[in-house]
Amino acid sequence: MTTKFNTFLAKQTGAIATITFNYPPVNIQGWPMIEDLNKLADELEIDKSVKVVIFESSNPDFFVAHADVDMLKDMPQKAVERNKVEVNDLAKVLERISKLPQATIAKIEGYARGGGHEMALACDMRFAARGKAIFMQMEVGMGILPCGGGASRMARQVGLGKALEIILSAKDFNADEAYAMGTINKALDPDKIGIYVYELANRIAQFPSESITACKRAVYASIDLPIEEALKEESYQLYQATSQTPAIKRFTTASDTNFQNSLENQKNFQTLLMSLQEIK
């Protein structure tokens, strides 16, 4: 990665990019961070050398605190007609993060309220540290609503009732509560979260980038489309993958070696799958 950022550090190791929020004192999400996230998206949208992106923080107490009140206080007070509404800048950039061709993982250790929580929700996967991660959508208490995609993504993530409980209660909830409600993939002990996230990222990073992108697009499409259209999208993405990856070579090798009929192979498929990545 070549771009320099003001609110986070970016480091690429192999096919994994680690984005470390580093904007003292509490990683406030204002115009500088929005600008940086747009620059990051500019780079990642065309960079096939990166397959996985991990978002974390250098501050042990904060992932991303929340959106900058100095930015929010300048919102218009006059209601806008429905046909003239434009998506706000925070929602726009978080949608770009959500649509990145790479797999994105939020590693959350510290407070992630408001826009910080919405940043995590925009990632494909979320893992939070017990005793450290704290979440909240406080917007109703300020007189607005989650407007960085939080209301929309949370309903898709956890269902209507739980989404409304989180949004309308405006209460803190911890990693275990987040896991129970479904806003994160796993709650992990602080000494385990790094190991788990980086092992997962390293595994994903060994797979073809085009296959990762096709999987993401098919899964995201399934949320919004009727089942018939979603199945067509799956098939479309299937052929996008087979046209760009060594999939057919790998299936042919498996067929020629009678791979699938070996009981031992079936028992060890998770490990053997990685050896197939050598077939390019």
> What is residue 189's predicted lDDT score, i.e. its pLDDT?
98
Token code pair at residue 129: 């540290």
> What is residue 13's predicted lDDT score, i.e. its pLDDT?
97
- Alpha-carbon span 55 to 8, nearest angstrom: 10
Task: Say if residue 10's pLDDT is above 90.
Answer: yes
Phi, psi of 78 (to 5 degrees): -90, 135
Bridge-partner residues for 111, per DSSP? Answer: 62, 134
Query: From the centroid of its chain, how far is CA 165?
Result: 22
Average confidence (pLDDT) over 100-114: 97
Task: Give the CA distances from residue 222 to residues 122, 219, 227, 244, 257, in Å, rounded to whole numbers and listed in that order.
Answer: 16, 5, 7, 22, 35
Assign 1 a pLDDT band (cuts: 50, 70, 90): confident
Amino acid at 231: L
Residue 259: CB partners within 8 Å, gap ≥ 6? 253, 265, 272
- Alpha-carbon span 123 to 110, nearest angstrom: 17
Q: What is the dihedral of CA 142, 145, 150, 151, to 10 degrees?
A: 140
**Average pLDDT score over the chain:** 93
Query: Around Cβ 41, how many Cβ atoms within 10 Å?
Result: 18
pTM of the complete model: 0.92
Residues constituting the chain? 280
Q: pLDDT for 174-200, tens place per residue?
A: 999 999 999 999 999 999 999 999 999
Task: Say if residue 111's pLDDT is above 80.
Answer: yes
> What is residue 270's predicted lDDT score, i.e. its pLDDT?
87
Q: Which of 16-30, 66-80, 124-138, 147-161 comes out lowest in average pLDDT?
A: 66-80
Environment class of 160 (CB within 10 Å of its CB; exposed 0-12, middle 13-18, buried 19+): exposed
Task: Say if residue 275's pLDDT is above 90.
Answer: no
- Alpha-carbon span 89 to 94, nearest angstrom: 9
pLDDT top residue among 161 and 228? 161
The three-state secondary structure class of 28 is coil
- Alpha-carbon span 16 to 102, nearest angstrom: 9
- The pairing of strands 62-64 and 16-21 is unpaired
Q: pLDDT for 86-96, tens place per residue?
A: 888 999 999 99
